[in-house]
Each structure stands twice: as structure tokens, then as C-alpha cells.
Amino acid sequence: MKITGKSKVFGIIGWPVSHSLSPVFHNAAFDYLGLDCCYVPLPVEVGRLDVAIKAISALNIAGLNVTVPHKEGVIPYLSELSKEAMMIGAVNTIKVSGERLLGYNTDGIGFITSLHEAGQSVSGRSILILGAGGAARAVVFAAANGSAEKIIIANRTAGKAESLKEQVQKHFPSVKVEATGMGYDDLREVSNKVDMIINTTSLGLKQGDPSPVPREFLHRDLFVCDLIYNPPETELVRYAKDLCRGYMNGLGMLLHQGAASFKLWTDIKPPVHIMRQALQDALQQRPSSGRM
């Protein structure tokens, strides 16, 4: 990749970010399209977000992705938020427009696009969403916006599921939303009422992690999504391969949230096939990280 005196700089801020695969596929896309742009990981410690954001315009940075732990903390520094970012309460993409910083969240559209690629849709579905963290918020709002029939949010800390349920109901009063805990009895109760399960918890990232849903609660009517992509097969995905009508991991969501950011920054159709190949190659070369 050739860097010139005029190269536009894009990047990702978070802590840590050294494991991020975003540089790999964004740089592959810039290279393929012959754009004089580059994308770099920018580690920003908690407590230094303020100086980092102020430096964006001083350093002429053209656009940023934002990852854990800054997705919420970045909001007060932005000039404007997209509808999705406002609803979700988190930003994963900053577009620089002159002196203005515009905040977007492409996680939801990334998830929905990857689901469509797998031949599935949330429309009319009864969906069990495990988790109530940042990723869950993006997926829950995308499912409600995509006309899911019913959404059940199950979280280890049940109070967080309840509070997410209330926020979704405020924006989408016609969607049925329930909240519950993630204990054995809670999941037994709800798993027969749904035809899709989406794991947005970090359970499965580490080797030896159990499935968040016991094997005996999976059935043939279920399509299972695990947002984890490294390892590519969690225990939940392994069970789903045997017992359910279909499954997908989080690789497609990672790819498509990135593709949507690319489009926002450049206004050019992203070369998704190149980005996917770069992602797959990079993942093959690195062991399971246990990282988000």
C-alpha cells in the first residue's frame, strides 16, 4: 500500500484495538479501488477520549470507527447523531464534515445485512436475544425496526434486559417485547416460543466457554445467530449445526458494519467481496483471540 503526502487517514479508536480486523479489510478496499487512503488502529485509553476527539480535526483525520469502551462516551463530543445512533445510544462510526463530527451506528444494519445474506429476515419472527450490552442494543433496535413479531431479551443481569425492553417499547410500541433472566428455567420457558436465537453475550469468546443456551432447548424450528466470529464456531453454533434449521456466526455482521462505514465516509460502493476475502484470510492466520 502506497502512502503519499495527500493520503486521507481513517482509523479505529478503542482500548485495546491491536486485535481489530477493521484495518485489514478497510485497507484492502482502499487498495482495490486505488484510493489514496489508509486505515490505522488508534489505541485511546479510557480517560483520554477528550484529547483524542479534539485531535481529529487538528490531525485532519477523515473518519473513524469507534469500539469498546468508547461507543457511548464519544456521544457528547459529536455535532450530530443519526437516528439509529440516537436510539441505540452508541456510535461506531464518525464521519468528519468540515469542523463537524457526525455520529452513526452501523452495527444494526451490519447484522440485518448479514442475516439477509443467510437468506433470513427478522420480519414476523419471534426472536430470543441473549444479552443486553452494546451489541444487544444494536440488534434489538434493528429487529424492532425490521418488524419482528416478538422480541424476548434475556440477560444474566435481568434488570438490564428490563431497562432495554422499556427503551425499545418507547420507540416501537407495536412490537411485543419481553425481558427475562438467563438462568436454566428462564431459557427453558422461552426457547419454545421463538424461531430465532441471537447470542450477543460474550459467552463463547473464550475457549471452553459453554453455550449460553443448553443443548436440550434447541430445536428444528430455530435459526441461530452468534455474534462471535473468533472462534468461528462457538459451542452454541456447534449445537445449532446439529439441531437447528440454520445458523450463522458474527463474521458477516463485522464485514457489513464496516462496509456501511466505508460507504458513509467515501460515498463509494464498498467492494464487499474484497473486504470479505481479506477478513477471512486474516482470521485464518490468527488463533482465536478471546477478544471482543
Determine if 205 is a binding residue for ligand NAP (CB under 6 A): yes
Determine if 279 is a binding residue for ligand NAP (CB under 6 A): no
| Euclidean distance between CA atoms 95 and 63, whole angstroms | 5
Q: How far apart are the first and last CA of the chain?
A: 27
Q: Cβ 194 to ligand NAP, closest distance in Å?
A: 18
Determine if 224 is a binding residue for ligand NAP (CB under 6 A): no
Partners of 179 in the β-ladder: 153
| Euclidean distance between CA atoms 24 and 5, whole angstroms | 22
Task: Determine which residue in the list 134, 146, 231, 271 makes contact with ligand NAP, applying CB under 6 A.
Answer: 134
CB neighbour list of residue 233: distance below 8 Å, 6 or more residues apart? 241, 249
Task: Determine which residue in the list 9, 243, 282, 292 makes contact with ligand NAP, applying CB under 6 A.
Answer: 292
Residue nearer to ligand NAP on the CB measure, 68 or 75: 68
Scan residues 160-189 and list those touching ligand NAP (CB under 6 A).
160, 182
Catalytic: which of 2, 54, 71, 269? 71
Dihedral angle at the C-alpha atoms of 144, 244, 215, 202, nearest 10 degrees? -40
| Alpha-carbon distance values, 118 to 103, 114, 122, 228 (Å) | 28, 6, 12, 16
CB neighbour list of residue 239: distance below 8 Å, 6 or more residues apart? 211, 213, 215, 218, 224
User: In the annotation, is 6 catalytic?
Assistant: no
Could you give the string, one character per residue 79-108, with x where binding to ligand NAP holds by CB under 6 A and - elsewhere?
----------------------------x-
Q: Which residues bind ligand NAP (CB under 6 A)?
A: 68, 107, 131-136, 155-157, 160, 182, 200-203, 205, 227-229, 250, 253-254, 257, 292
